[in-house]
Chains A and B, each alone.
Chain A
Amino acid sequence: MTSVLLITFAATLIYISIANRLLTYINILAFQGLLLFGVSFVELNEINIVNLVFILLETIVFKTFAVPLFLNYVIKKNRITRDAEPYLPNFFSLVIVTLIIVATFLISTSIDDPRLNKVYFVVALSALFTGLYLIMTRKKLITHVMGFLVIENGVFILSLAVGAEMPMLVNTGILLDLFVSVLLLGIFVNKIGDVLQTADVDQLQNLKD
């Protein structure tokens, strides 16, 4: 069951690499939150109830509803254009993200650890590198935030793979999620529109040598 969910997750990574509209990105992120809810529900239901509620709240409430709605609000408020504006054509993105998945798959074959579920490992690392790729090849700041959220989802999967034996770490990871994304988005939504006095948010390119 978890394998199906995780493989679907990997498929969303390919989809996000070729999506054109910001709205599609947001929908994919919400869907990923839903998938993560499924995975953590199947995987962690023997852990104590507080931990469980914590994780479920985080995936459903935070990743599926709060963050996508918030992103939507940011886009509306700052009147950001709908296009994702990649630097590379979508075909290359498709090839590169596929290569990322294949590469992590190859890496995982070299591991001989019976305790680690390799599907988790492959999907987590793919999400991590896809997120980095999105950050590097997209022009808008809001897509950088989305890339970061994809990375966070990858970290979430990785911590689930380890988490069965380490609840403390899982909780720290959740702390990271809440803390950083709220802060990043908070700065984004409140300040950039106000300070720059313009709808165009692609202007943060003045500090350089």
Chain B
Amino acid sequence: MFAFYLSGTVLISALLFVNQRRRANYLLVAAFAVLQWVLIAHGFMHRGETELYGFFKTDALALLMLTTLGIVAVPAFYHSYVYFNDSEESPRKRGIFFMSMVILLAAVSGAYLSNHIAVTWVFVELTTLAASGLIYYHRDAAALEGTWKYVFVCSISITFVFIGILFLSIALQQVGYADLSFPALVQQAATLDVFWLRLSFIFIFTGFSAKMGLVPMYTAGIDAKDKAPSPAGALLSSVLMNMGFVGMFRFYQVIAGTAIQEWAGNVIFIAAGLSIFVAAVYMLKVQNIKRMLAYSSIEHMGLVMLGVAAGGVGYYAAVLHLILHAFAKSSMFFQMGQVFRIYRSKYISDTGNYFSYHLPGAAALLLAFFCVTAMPPSGLFVSEFLIFRSLFEGHHLLLLIAVLVLLTLIIWAFGKSLFRLLFTPPQHFDAAKAGRVSGYESLSQFFLLGLVIYLGFNPPALMVELIQDAVKNVPN
């Protein structure tokens, strides 16, 4: 099935590149959405099976993330459609945009499903290329700068991951193995030399931090999410970050069975804590709303990794947090696209009184704000609470207090900017020039935010079981 999916993707993306008629583009994209959902459905029917010489496996983590991707992808396509209806862009740019998006989603799916660390690596590399096509969409100096930085930082990071894999293979050769598939690694973990494992972990962790958005390499993603059109930004800050987590977590499962687990946990604590700190510092001063959302994603990834490092209930909470964050953050990015069409600006100082210009959108944005900052109706409240509990139970009290202080700052900064957008009258804005946005475009956001609330408080039994299955390889 996965071979069929990949060849279908190649065909669709090639056709998107060649055929630039509007209707043909939309039909092809719709065909890809169907293909994606067929892959997901097939995955659920053949759970736990390997495909293509054992390189791909539909395990629980992959299924969870794939479903998240499938749910986010449909509104992303819809909002791209709206985006192109609104702006008179050249067919060529549209074709390349959709092609990049299709390749990005397929590469991310491949990285989720990968059962072999080198295969993950190849697909992660592919996402860099595909994402650069999305970031460079506007073809101006700023987009070029964003793309250049993204490609450069991601290339270095992916080289780091490769070096990590080389060190890992040295460790494997010592015990006479050459199989780099994840189950084999988990099985062999305890026999591997800790010196090489340490080196390997440092490099792989640093490498994946570019995709996931954690401290050493987070910078690339910020410019990328700012410069890409908002439907693309939504994908970059949800499914792509999840991919970074999947790569990192699968390798962490290997580390978790060795003597260096505690050391690795400390490394993650430092990186995650610094991520939240950096997010707080920048959110206090950022004026561009999309960049603010990007920094907020950094904060959430920091929280997720805190859960992983703390262990216990933290693993479960981390995966739940990741899924819910993907829905909440992508809906916020979708909404940002409409904000931009009304005010023609991404800067907070140019906007205001959103409620009077676009009531459903403003309501969606307000709800999204509560969801993203993990206030009670939001499901993120549950996962964040569980992460704090795991920190508390792991006796990381000082860290917990520091994180809570930083989170307060983040909520304050976020709220200050967003309430200004929603309620304060704009200063230099001519109301007659306000763009028109249909209220129905906010439906998808309400749906995603509804999912955030529903899944947090009343998670379906299947989802709970899948998450527990996904984290079963890490010791409590």
Contacts and interface: CB of A to CB of B under 8 A. Distances in A.
A204 B159 contact: no
B163 A128 contact: yes
Contact of B118 (A110, A155, A168): A168
A144 B152 contact: yes
A165 B178 contact: yes
Given A115-B173, A169-B169, A187 B118 contact: no
A196 interface: yes
Contact of A148 (B122, B132, B156, B169): B156
B139 to A, nearest CB: 7
Nearest to A141: B148
A188 B173 CA distance: 39
B218 to A, nearest CB: 12
B158 A180 contact: yes
Contact of A155 (B132, B151, B162): B162
Interface in B133-168: 139-142, 144-149, 151-152, 155-156, 158-159, 162-163, 165-166
B227 A207 contact: yes
B174 A115 contact: yes
Interface residues of A, number: 42
B59 interface: no
9 contacts: A110-B195, A113-B170, A132-B156, A141-B148, A161-B170, A172-B162, A176-B159, A195-B144, A204-B144
Contacts of A111: 195
A32 to B, nearest CB: 16
Interface string A196-209: 10000001111101
Contacts of A172: 118, 121-122, 162
B169 A166 contact: yes
Contacts of A176: 125, 158-159, 162
Nearest to A196: B141
Contact of A180 (B118, B125, B139): B125
A91 interface: no
Interface of A: 110-111, 113, 115-116, 128, 132, 135, 141, 144, 148, 151-152, 155, 158-159, 161-162, 165-166, 168-169, 172-173, 175-176, 179-180, 183-184, 187-188, 191-192, 195-196, 203-207, 209
A169 B141 CA distance: 37
Contact of B151 (A169, A187, A195): A187
A191 B143 CA distance: 11
B99 to A, nearest CB: 16
Given A115-B173, A159-B166, A176-B125, 14 more contacts: A111-B195, A113-B193, A144-B152, A151-B156, A155-B159, A155-B162, A162-B169, A175-B122, A176-B162, A180-B158, A195-B144, A206-B141, A206-B142, A209-B285
A207 B226 CA distance: 9
Nearest to A111: B195
B158 A183 contact: no
